[in-house]
């Protein structure tokens, strides 16, 4: 049998890798890839808690539905913004997007 701790450690490490990607990468699309990794770590945690603590209840799975929906919406809007910015400024690097900086 696999103890719950294995899943939690895997999710924590995956979240850390995704956090590094969000903080350290320059390209906006690479930052979005990091966010996807973090959302997947959250999904592993939610489903592990569902299986090990409340397998007869589906509340954890409802949360997973919401995470999937928000992930899809976030990627669609994020990539549309990247394309829009790329059209105007011809760049996809976060440190070159300083129009709002004063």
Partner 1 sequence: MEPIQIVFLIGAALVLGSAVMVVTRRNLIHAALFLILTLSGVAMIFVLLEAFYWAVIQVVVYIGAIAILIIMAIMVTRNVTGDTVKPFNNMAVWAAMLSVVASGSLIWALSYWPAFDQTAPVADTGEYVIRLLGLELFSAEGYLIPTMIASVLLLAALIAAIKSAFPISQEEE
Query: Restricting to residues 69-88, which ones interact with partner 1 according to CB under 8 A?
Result: 69-77, 79-84, 86-87
Residue 26, CA distances (Å) to 14, 19, 72, 88, 94 in order:
20, 13, 22, 18, 6
Count of residues in contact with partner 1, rule CB under 8 A = 73
Q: Residue 4 CB, nearest distance to partner 1 (Å)? A: 5
Residues 6+ apart with CB under 8 A from 14: 37, 38, 40, 41, 44
Q: Residue 49 CB, nearest distance to partner 1 (Å)? A: 9
The dihedral through the CA atoms of 10, 14, 20, 22 has a sign that is negative
The token pair that represents 16 in the structure block: 């850390």
Q: Residue 46 CB, nearest distance to partner 1 (Å)? A: 9
Q: Residue 60 CB, nearest distance to partner 1 (Å)? A: 9
x/- track of binding to partner 1 for residues 11-50 (CB under 8 A): -xxxxxxxxxx-xxxxx-xx-xxx-xx--x--xx--xx-x
Under the binding rule (CB under 8 A), the answer on residue 89 touching partner 1 is no
Instruction: Give the Cβ contact number of residue 52 at 10 Å.
Output: 14
């Amino acid at each position: 049998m696999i103890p719950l701790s294995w899943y939690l450690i895997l999710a924590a490490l995956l979240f850390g890798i995704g956090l590094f990607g969000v903080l350290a990468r320059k390209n906006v699309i690479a930052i979005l890839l990091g966010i996807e990794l973090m959302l997947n770590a959250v999904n592993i945690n939610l489903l592990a808690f569902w299986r090990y603590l409340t397998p007869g209840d589906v509340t954890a799975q409802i949360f997973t539905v919401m995470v999937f929906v928000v992930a899809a919406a976030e990627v669609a809007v994020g990539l549309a913004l990247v394309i829009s910015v790329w059209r105007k400024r011809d760049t996809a690097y976060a440190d070159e997007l300083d129009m709002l900086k004063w």
